[in-house]
């Protein structure tokens, strides 16, 4: 299992140091939450920050787009250094096309699935997406409470992917911490995304190490 710290809860005045510390502790990728103040009320950052992060690390950058018209911004995020780009299918008229456009740029394409989204509506996308982010909170803010039942949704998604004979990396995003990591491992989750549990901890590096340790027992 891979741990992906979400920089949303990091101290942006010392972002490079924060990233170096979690990387040294074993984080396998970084999660970057892009919010536009429209699709979600919160407003975070755009390609400039992604590009700045790109210069601080060689870790894969997973850019989670919580924005309207995400398809028209894919190129900007890929140019900024994203290795993986995830979209919320409900924000797009043509989500299938958006995923293929990301892949045409040689990057991994993801679908972010909200707690209220029915799998029936995204089943066709499972066949082409490289990864899926199961949202265990409603998107918009770090530090929210984990919604129970999210691991079960991850299991159902895995069964759908197996039925369609497609390999899908499954990530879980929101309310995660070391205590919940064993359940995530049991549910077959590939990547645990954690924001506040890492960057609001006294020692973010120790928090990553704790999560890795919890994944291995």
Pairing of strands 61-66, 169-173: unpaired
Q: Decide whether 57 or 144 has the Cβ nearer to ligand DX5.
A: 144
CB of 195 to Zn ion, least distance (A): 8
Pick the stretch among 67-75, 87-95, 101-109, 168-176 that binds ligand DX5 (CB under 6 A). Answer: 168-176
Q: Decide whether 65 or 125 has the Cβ nearer to ligand DX5.
A: 65
Query: What are the two backbone dihedrals, phi and then psi, of residue 93, each rounded to the nearest 5 degrees?
Result: -70, -35
List residues bridging with 101 in a β-sheet.
none
Measured distance CA(157)–CA(23) in Å, rounded: 29
- Residue 196 interacting entry, from Zn ion, ligand DX5, none, C-beta within 5 to 8 Å by type: ligand DX5
- Residue 171 interacting entry, from ligand DX5, Zn ion, none, C-beta within 5 to 8 Å by type: none
Contact 56, 48 (CB under 8 A): no
Q: Does 171 bind Zn ion (CB under 5 A)?
A: no
Active site residue 130: no
Q: What is the DSSP string of 160-172?
A: HHHHTT---EEEE
Measured distance CA(50)–CA(52) in Å, rounded: 5
Cβ neighbours for 187, distance < 8 A, ≥ 6 positions apart: 151, 152, 154, 155, 158
Among 143, 162, 182, 186, binds ligand DX5 (CB under 6 A): 143
Residue nearest to ligand DX5 (CB): 195
The burial class, CB within 10 Å (0-12 / 13-18 / 19+), for 149 is exposed
Q: Does 33 bind Zn ion (CB under 5 A)?
A: yes
Q: Which of 33, 62, 71, 210 is catalytic?
A: 33
Active site residue 33: yes
Cβ neighbours for 215, distance < 8 A, ≥ 6 positions apart: 1, 3, 181, 182, 184, 185, 192
Among 2, 21, 54, 64, binds Zn ion (CB under 5 A): 64
Q: Decide whether 101 or 171 has the Cβ nearer to ligand DX5.
A: 171
CB of 142 to Zn ion, least distance (A): 9
Q: What residue ranges bind ligand DX5 (CB under 6 A)? A: 6, 8-9, 31, 33, 64, 137, 139-140, 142-144, 173-176, 193-197
What residues act catalytically? 33, 173
Positions touching Zn ion (CB under 5 A) are 33, 64, 173
């Amino acid at each position: 299992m891979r741990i992906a710290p979400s920089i949303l809860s990091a101290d942006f005045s010392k972002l490079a140091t924060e990233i170096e510390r979690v990387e040294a502790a074993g984080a396998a990728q970084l999660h970057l939450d892009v919010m536009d103040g429209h699709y979600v009320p919160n407003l975070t950052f755009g390609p400039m920050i992604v590009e700045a992060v790109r210069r601080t690390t060689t870790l894969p950058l997973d850019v989670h787009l919580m924005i309207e018209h995400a398809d028209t911004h894919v190129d900007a995020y890929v140019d900024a250094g994203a290795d993986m780009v995830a979209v919320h299918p409900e924000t797009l008229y043509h989500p299938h096309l958006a995923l293929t456009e990301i892949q045409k740029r040689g990057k991994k394409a993801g679908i972010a699935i909200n707690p209220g989204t029915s799998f029936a509506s995204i089943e066709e996308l499972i066949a082409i997406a490289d990864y899926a982010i199961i949202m265990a909170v409603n998107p918009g803010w770090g530090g929210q409470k984990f919604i129970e039942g999210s691991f079960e949704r991850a299991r159902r998604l895995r069964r759908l992917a197996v039925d369609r004979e497609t390999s899908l990396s499954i990530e879980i995003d929101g309310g995660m911490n070391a205590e919940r990591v064993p359940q995530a491992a049991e549910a077959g989750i590939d990547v645990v995304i954690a924001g506040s549990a890492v960057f609001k901890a006294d020692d973010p590096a120790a928090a990553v190490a704790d999560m890795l340790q919890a994944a291995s027992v």
